[in-house]
Structure formats: C-alpha cells, structure tokens
Amino acid sequence: MSKKVLIVGGVAGGATAAARIRRLNEQAEVIIFERSGFVSYANCGLPYYIGGIIEDKEELTLQTPEHFRERFRIDVRVHHEVTAIHPDKKTVTVKNLETGESFEESYDKLLLSPGARPVQPNLPGAGMEHLFTLRTVEDTLKIRDFVVKEKPKSAVLAGGGYIGLEVAENLRELGMDVTIVQRPNQVLNPLDYEMATFVHAKLREKGIHLMLGHSVEGFEKDSDSLKVLLKDVDPLKADMVILAIGVAPDTHLAKDVGLKLGIKNSIVVNDHMETSVPDIYAVGDAVEVHHMVTGQQALISLAGPANKQGRIAADNICGGDSAYKGSQGSSVIKIFDMTVATTGLNEQAAKKSGIDCDKVYLSPSSHASYYPGGTMMTMKVLFEKGSYRLLGAQIIGYDGVDKRIDVLATAMNAGMSALELKDLDLAYAPPYSSAKDPVNMAGFMIDNIEKGTLKQFFWNEVGELPDDDSVVLLDARTPEEYERGHINGFVNIPLDELRDRISEIRKGLPVYVMCQSGLRSYLACRILMQNGFDCYNFSGGYRLYETIYKDCCVAKQSYPCGMDK
C-alpha cells in the first residue's frame, strides 16, 4: 500500500527507518527533514576527527542526500527544520533554513527522530568565543578548525562521560594540556566507583588532570584564553573549553503538540514505537525506553538501540508487527590503550531500583598465560541474591574486553542465570582465551557462592573490620608482595606455607583472607574451611584495593583505606 511518510531527523534512527521503509515498500513516498547539513553521520566518530585519527571529514558521512536519492529514491532535505506538527490536519510546518521560507507538508505517517541536544547550563559567560559543545558534524568541524588554526595548548573538558573522555584523549594525543572537570567523584557513570578508579589511573598516567567532585560555575574572558570558574577552588585557565556534561531529549516539538512525555521530557512510546498520538512514531535518544533488567522506564542514548528502534518503527509503519523489547545499555569505549565496557546495571543502579544484589570480582588474563602477550582485565559481575538473575557487568582491560562483555550481554538478553555462565561452551585457543574463559570463571565463582564454598568480603568493608583479637586478618601473598604494600592488621602467611603454619591461626575466630587478585586467598579459604575455620575471601584482591586507595589519596576522599606503604 502506497503511503507518504515524513521523518524528522536523520542520523541513526531516522536514516535507518527511511532505508527500511524503502526496502519494504517501493511505492511509499519518504521525505527526511534534517535541520543540520548532514543526514546520516558517524556520531560516535566525531571525537576522532578532532584528534586527526579520522583524517577525511567525508568518512564521517555514512549517507549523503544524493546517495539516498540515487539508491533509495528518498527525498532528503537538509537545512530544513520542522517547526510545528498539526495532527488534526496531518501536516507539519517546515522552515527552509537557507531561504527562510516556511511551508506545510502532509503525511500519512510521521516519524520523529530528533535525537538529543547537549545540556547547556545557564552559566555566566556561556556562549562566548572558544567555548564549544560537541553533538553534530558542524560542531566537530568548528572544533577541528579551531584546533588546526589556533593551535591551542590547553583545554578544559566539562564532563567525564563517553564524549568527554574521547575528546580528552584526542586532544591530549595532539599534545595539549587537558583537564576534565566532573561534578561526581568519578568519570563514566555506568561504572561503579571502584571500577572507575582504574580509568582514573589510566587518565592520570597519560597526563590528563582530573578535577572530580567540582562544579563549573561560569566562564570569563582572560586575554586570548578562558577562565573556567569552579565552586570553592581557584579557576582554571585554558585556550579552549568543551562542554560535554550530558544530553537531554530534544522534544520541544513533541511537547508543543501534546505528545505524552516521560523522563526528562522524553517521548513516551509503546513497544511498536508509537507515540500517544495516532500515526506519529518516535525513535532514538528522544524516547523513553523499557529497561530490560529493572523493568522500569529509562533513558539510554546509544546508537545500537536507536538503529533497532528505527527498523522496528519502519516495520510497523509498513503494516508489520515488530516490537522493541527494551534496552540494557551495553557499551564500550576506548581510553588510550585501555578498553572499558559495561552492560546492564551497575551496583548503584541495582540498589536504587530496590534489587538485592551480590557480586564477584575477578582479574583473569585475556588469553592463556603461557601464550605471549596476555593482558589482565578486571571484571565485576552483578547478580540478584536468591534468584541468581544476571543484573550487569563491568570489564576494564585491554585485549578481549569487548568479547567478554558481549557474551555477558547475550546471556542476560537470553535470560540465563549467573549460575549458567559456567556451562557456556566458548571458543578456545591459546592466543584468544583460556580453557576456562573469564566468563566461565565468573560462573564458577558464583556457583561456589551458591554452594557455600565461597564467602566474600569487599573493599568498602575493610574499614569496618574489628581491629582487636575478635577476628584473624590474613594476607596469603608472598613476603615480597606483602612488603611492597599491605593493609594494616593483615598478617602475612603465604599460601604455600599455610598448611604447615595453620596452628598459628586461632580457632573459633572468623578469618578474613586476601591476596593479589582473589585466587590464592580463595585457595587459602578452602584449606581453612576444611580445617574448621569460618573464612571470608577478599573479592578483587589487593590489586583492586590498592587502585582504590591511590585514587582516594589523589582525590583526597575519605574512603576506608588504612594501608601501609
């Protein structure tokens, strides 16, 4: 059946929907209105053009208006902004931004894909020269042009999310002095704090300054530079400033026409991507989605979900019956030579949702230890107590991080329990993995918890341990490791000496054991538990604790530490 479909906005959701509509309906008339000059571009690649990694700006353009016309016979009108929707007449008002002319266009079906806009707080000095935001290709070209022509030596990034970190890396690689200012005490909110400390360490190692727990209060001109005014501390001076403090759904059109709105004025849609007004659909960063783990509504601004939503909306516009099952927030980011990946909930979000959760930390190698080139990763896997439902995972490392997060994301999507991770039949060869893959290892650990052969304590509980004779604190590492750094009160008995020295441990007291990564302390606990001791393994090991401790010291935060160096 022939019909006329108008699409407001291109990029991921709108452009995907347009191409899908054409594949399903050769007779449909499809028009895309895009207020920028680019209909489909690689949003996630923008920071890498600023840094010169992507050299040709044409590489950012996935589809041009001309290509859409030639291949799909779709009418793409860039520099055209839809300014009003009239559902009663089934028309929209469009303004040609090049000529200033306005006109009305009719539709049978209307798809909104307006995306999100950068959050721009109403601060003194906002909008002045050398102050940038990054969301569109035009923004990118403007920043890249400034970097090439003006050769700035310093930059401040307000915001420590994905875009902020990617831009910070690229500017640092250009030789700039870079500072990230972030109101929370960590970067990358999808991570829990203790996992984010590994990212903090990498950023500092690469020369990026972190001002965490600080708020930007305004900007002032200072000769050819800018002053970034901060609350309670001295201002920062920089040649350029980029605001990357987040995005908000761009839904003024939806609000004006009376569409039902949800979180942060996002557009409420059903699983067919239909809005509250008949024949109007919406997709992408502007819509509220169902979170697959919590069952609650959420905002998840990622390219993968937007593309899927565009396809589903197109199916239904063309008379199909496709449903969007929701999002779980799987993501990955490169930070210099490090890879950081997440899926599902972090611990903070799980607790906020009222979920009683447990967790395991592990530090496996990316592949078989005897094959050269293996690197260590840090994994945190969350699951619900009692049901062992998988809730989420965070992985930080180098090689193989993306592979493991995708396996865990797939397991979650398939409804597998955390206990079933041990049964996954995963590919193995020494250059790629171990016979016991890290995902299997997480499953083994959780299975041990379920069977009662593993009891744990965690980094934020160390400060609560009694400092008297009511407990035994044991460090199972080698004397050399112990001397390089240990936690106050922990006595060193190496694992390989434990059986011969077990008489040194007082019976009847709970024993808390740690090692470097959590493996040797687990083996120590198995020895002790089978000799009548009540034993608890330090999850994540001294390696995790030391990273947190160092971050606390640099940031002057008051987390429980108490470590001798």
CB 222 within 8 A of CB 377: no
**525 is a catalytic site residue:** no
Q: Which residue has the tokens 């965490």?
A: 212
Neighbouring residues of 458: CB distance < 8 A, sequence distance ≥ 6: 359, 538, 539, 540
Among 44, 525, 553, 561, which one carries the catalytic annotation? 44
Phi-psi region of 206 (alpha: psi -120 to 50; beta: other; left: phi over 0): alpha
DSSP 231-297: TTSPPEEESEEEE-S-EEE--HHHHHHT--B-GGGPBP--TT-B-SSTTEEE-GGGB-EEBTTT-SE
- Can you tell me the distance from the alpha carbon of 117 to that of 135, in angstroms, rounded to the nearest whole number? 7
- Can you tell me the distance from the alpha carbon of 5 to that of 8, in angstroms, rounded to the nearest whole number? 10
DSSP 439-464: HHHHHHHHHHHHHTS--EE-GGGGGG
The CA-CA-CA angle for residues 270, 273, 274, to 5°, reads 75
Instruction: Return the structure tokens found at 219.
Output: 């900007």
- Can you tell me the distance from the alpha carbon of 334 to that of 340, in angstroms, rounded to the nearest whole number? 7
CB 24 within 8 A of CB 320: yes
Q: Which residue has the tokens 């053009």?
A: 49
Q: Which residue has the tokens 């890396």?
A: 169
Q: Which residue has the tokens 């865990």?
A: 408
List, in sequence order, every residue forming a beta bridge with 11; answer none if it has no partner: none
CB 208 within 8 A of CB 179: yes
Instruction: Return the structure tokens found at 334.
Output: 């490169």
Neighbouring residues of 470: CB distance < 8 A, sequence distance ≥ 6: 509
C-beta contacts of 295-299 below 8 A and 24+ residues apart: 296/353, 297/262, 297/263, 298/263, 298/327, 298/329, 299/249, 299/263, 299/264, 299/266
CB 82 within 8 A of CB 112: no
DSSP label at residue 221: E
Neighbouring residues of 219: CB distance < 8 A, sequence distance ≥ 6: 123, 124, 125, 126, 128, 131, 226, 227, 228, 229, 241
Q: Helices 193-205 and 541-555 meet at what angle, rounded to 10?
A: 70
What's the CA dihedral at 231, 237, 242, 247 to 10 degrees?
0
> Are β-strands 297-298 and 289-290 bridged in parallel, bridged antiparallel, or unpaired?
antiparallel
**Residues with catalytic function:** 44
